[in-house]
Amino acid sequence: MTDTKLSPQAHAILREHATERPFSSPLNDEKRAGEFRCAGCGTTVYRSDTKYNSGSGWPSFWAAEDGAVATTTDRSHGMVRTEVHCATCEGHLGHIFPDGPRPTGLRHCINGAALEFVAKD
């Protein structure tokens, strides 16, 4: 998918590192089986069986698809966080925190507007 097809919000998040308001994404409540793909390029980055309700207000996952995401250190806003981005198009997805469930103990806190959900047939 090219940037011309991104919504203004998805463009701001994926390309300018913006963050959506908590509890604003319909994907936060998505419970069907399927894949969560990067809205910037269509790469499958998360699967529904790794999604859980963290209570944070953003779609949360305990693991990404192998090789689908990469991380960098984010020192913005006066703190140090682990930024997660699409390994294919480098679009900003969100952040990873060390307070998630087993088996990884990680919480991938992802902007819903940076994702597209494709339900399993």
The answer to whether the pTM exceeds 0.85 is: yes
Distances (CA, A) of 121 to 32, 54, 73, 118: 10, 26, 37, 9
Set out the domains of the chain in order of their start, with CATH numbers.
3-119 (2.170.150.20)
Question: Could you give the percent of the chain with pLDDT greater than 70?
Answer: 97
Helices (H), the chain: 8-16
Please pick, among 41, 86, 89, 109, the residue that the annotation labels catalytic: 109
Rounded (5°) CA angle 41-86-60: 110
Indicate if the pLDDT at residue 3 is higher than 50: yes
Q: What is the pLDDT of residues 78-117, one digit of tens each?
A: 999 999 999 999 999 999 999 999 999 999 999 999 999 9
Distance separating alpha carbons of residues 16 and 58, to the nearest angstrom: 18
Q: Is 109 among the catalytic positions? A: yes
Task: Enumerate helices (H) and strands (E) in the chain, giving the number of each.
Answer: 1, 9
Identify the band that residue 65 occupies on the pLDDT scale cut at 50, 70 and 90. Answer: very high
Identify the band that residue 5 occupies on the pLDDT scale cut at 50, 70 and 90. Answer: confident
Cα–chain center distance at 95:
8
